[in-house]
Amino acid sequence: MPLLLLTSFIWAFSFGLVKKFLGGVDASFVAFVRLFLALLLFLPLWRPGKVKRVLALRLLGIGMVQFGLMYVCYIQSFRFLAAHQVALFTVFTPLFVAAGDDLLERRWRPLHFWTALLAVAGTALIVYSGWGRADLLKGFVLVQASNACFAGGQVLYRRLPAAGRKWRDRDVFAWLFLGGAAAAALAMLFFSVTPNPPLSGSQALTLLYLGLLASGIGFFLWNIGSSRVSAGTLAVMNNLKIPLAVGVSLLVFHERADLARLAVGGSAILLALWLNSRRKANEIVSGR
């Protein structure tokens, strides 16, 4: 859980940075640069010979979905939404995580659903926007596509075979970023209409932060942390970045928010996390 908490703090700054400095830059280009920088960061640690071809292909596929397609949809949504709205609409990620995990296991765990739903309700209390604009609906759909890709990648990475495992996460993480960069490059090739103007200094620094820290180190810590917790805890932690992002928007990017909603929603998220952690402790005691 500490790794997931640390990553949530890192990601809390991403929403405001993307909106303020990269709002007019092509989404596929931003996604590609972020993932290419992350790939460069992990190339010295890459040990491609430690995994078989089938596993390498699985890692590439996970990276294309969790990182590549996710980022293209996520960054594109900033054309239609404010930063706090993008953060709010990621509220549905826990439902995708819990549903995907239970679907692959062919089971139904009500507590996973209810703790995720409590986190969703808590986050929804923080910021509320009406549905009166068409661009709001477009942005919402893009964020949900991003949520589905991100949740699917997490669930699939957690299910990679552990038996006979001779590799560490850092040995193979470049496979994920390679897949993500490839997916973003394809999107840039087929869907980008006009070339980007030269980047300003602030835009270049923002891309460095997003690529090396938020994407590179952040996703590495997140995928390791997600493999060490239950699906219910992972579902709740997916939403912790939302009140954090609202707080950063208030203090750093000077956006407006309802402090009462923030307090009540954050309390609901912490309650959901506590309930799931208590269940996990009870399972350990009972020997399940």
Sign of CA dihedral 11, 74, 215, 51: positive
- How confident is the model over 195-204, as a mean pLDDT? 85
Into how many domains does the chain fold?
1
pLDDT band per the 50, 70, 90 thresholds, residue 36: very high
The residue type of 285 is V
**Closest among 279, 144, 162 to 227, alpha carbons compared:** 162
Tell me the pLDDT tens digit for each residue of 94-140.
667 666 766 766 666 676 667 667 766 766 665 554 545 667 778 88
Question: Is residue 132 helix, strand or coil?
Answer: coil
More confident: 145 or 115: 145
- How confident is the model over 77-91, as a mean pLDDT? 83
CA 198 to chain centre: 28
Are residues 232 and 276 in contact, defined by beta-carbon separation less than 8 angstroms? yes
* Structural domain boundaries enclosing 245: 2-286
Please give the backbone phi and psi of residue 127, each rounded to the nearest 5 degrees, phi first. Answer: -135, 135
Report how far residue 146's alpha carbon sits from residue 282's, in angstroms, rounded to the nearest whole number.
34
List the structure tokens of 130.
């009406």
Q: Please return the burial class of 93, using the count of CB atoms within 10 Å of its CB with bins 0-12, 13-18 and 19+.
A: buried
Q: What angle do CA 162, 149, 175 make, to 5 degrees?
A: 50
Report how far residue 94's alpha carbon sits from residue 144's, in angstroms, rounded to the nearest whole number.
11
Element (H, E) at 282: helix 259-286
Sign of CA dihedral 145, 20, 63, 239: negative
Q: Is the pLDDT of residue 245 over 60?
A: yes
Q: Backbone dihedral region of 254: left (phi > 0), alpha (psi from -120 to 50 degrees) or beta? A: left
Mean pLDDT of the chain: 79
Are residues 19 and 139 in contact, defined by beta-carbon separation less than 8 angstroms? no
Tell me the pLDDT tens digit for each residue of 152-196.
888 888 777 665 567 777 888 899 999 999 999 999 988 887 677
Report how far residue 231's alpha carbon sits from residue 111's, in angstroms, rounded to the nearest whole number.
10
Alpha carbons within 13 A on the beta-carbon side of 157:
34
pLDDT of the residue at 252: 84
* Residue found under tokens 């209390």: 125
